[in-house]
Amino acid sequence: MASVKTTIVQIGDSQGVLIPKHLLEQCHLQEEVELEPRGNYLIIKGPTTPRAGRVEIFRKMAEAGDDAMLDEDIPLETTWNREEWQ
């Protein structure tokens, strides 16, 4: 992958970097990104989704029979749940 040079520009009281459209499209970056400083590098990446892929993981667990409750002896219904929870 070839690197691309760009400039830092003034945007109000802040500064910004203009990213060419083809790079945004190539990296599937849209409205929101995460910035991660690493030494003298600034990593720009799409936002992470904490629960991404969980549906597939749970499906595979169910297929393997590995989806049983581990704490079945703990009652789920409590006084607080019945009286306080709204």
One CATH from 3.60.21, 3.30.70, 2.10.260, 1.20.58 for 1-86: 2.10.260
pLDDT tens digits, residue range 16-43? 999 999 999 999 898 899 999 999 999 9
CB–CB of 6/20 below 8 Å? Answer: yes
Alpha carbon distance 66, 68 (integer Å): 6
Domain boundaries in the chain? 1-86
Amino acid 1: pLDDT? 66
The pLDDT value recorded for residue 86 is 67
What is the per-residue pLDDT for 23? 92
Residues 22, 18, 33, 2, CA torsion sign: positive
Predicted pLDDT of residue 71? 73
- 36 and 43 in contact (C-beta within 8 Å)? yes
SS3 state of residue 81: helix
Tens of pLDDT, residues 40-75: 999 999 888 778 788 888 899 999 988 887 777 776
From CA 67, how far away is CA 60, in angstroms rounded?
A: 9
